[in-house]
Amino acid sequence: MLAVVGLIICCGWTERQIDEIKKAEWLFGTWENKMPKGSLYETWSQLNDGEFLGKSYFLNDGDTILFETVRLLEKEQKLYYIVSVANQNDGLPVSFASTAVTDNVLIFENPQHDFPQVITYTKINADSLVAEISGMANGQERKQLFPMKRIR
């Protein structure tokens, strides 16, 4: 009887884990933010049941510059946004833990990081989102918004 109860609890926990990351499936695809000097793209895909892969790159006059790679994974009952940015942090990834995960909003925080301390994705509709980075920089509150449209 105890083994059955343990199995049910374990299966329920696993299902919750997968359900949490499924709330972020609306990120899948390629998103574009048009700027005066070119376009910023972000592409998201599923690596496996518990992990997504994101890549941000800048396209200007036919040149593609990889900006960052992101692993979005679930562990310890949270989602983690683990980002590696070219030419920053000696190439080492920085981890942000989820503080809110809903069907329309994803918020990740790392209070110890220099900037940003908060990364937010807000789904506007099926083909529109706003990515935001915010926090303190040089003693002042800063925020950058990246409105994006789905192109694929």
The single-letter DSSP state of residue 83 is: E
User: Cβ distance 145 to 132 under 8 Å?
Assistant: yes
Q: Which CATH number fits domain 2-150: 3.40.50.1100, 1.10.1060.10, 3.40.50.2000, 2.40.128.20?
A: 2.40.128.20
Is the distance from CB of 81 to CB of 69 less than 8 angstroms? no
pTM of the entire predicted model: 0.86
pLDDT of residue 76: 84
Confidence (pLDDT) at 122 = 98
Task: Kindly state the tokens that stand for 63.
Answer: 């040149």
Residues in contact with 58: Cβ distance below 8 Å, sequence separation at least 6, in sequence order: 38, 39, 40, 41, 64, 65, 67
pLDDT at residue number 131: 98
Q: Do 84 and 93 form a contact (C-beta atoms < 8 A)?
A: yes
In this predicted structure, what is the pLDDT of residue 10? Answer: 42
User: Could you state, in chain order, the average pLDDT of each consecutive group of 10 residues for the chain (152 residues)?
Assistant: 43 53 97 94 96 95 90 93 91 95 97 96 98 96 98 94
Question: Which pLDDT score is estimated for 13?
Answer: 41
The pLDDT of residue 62: 82
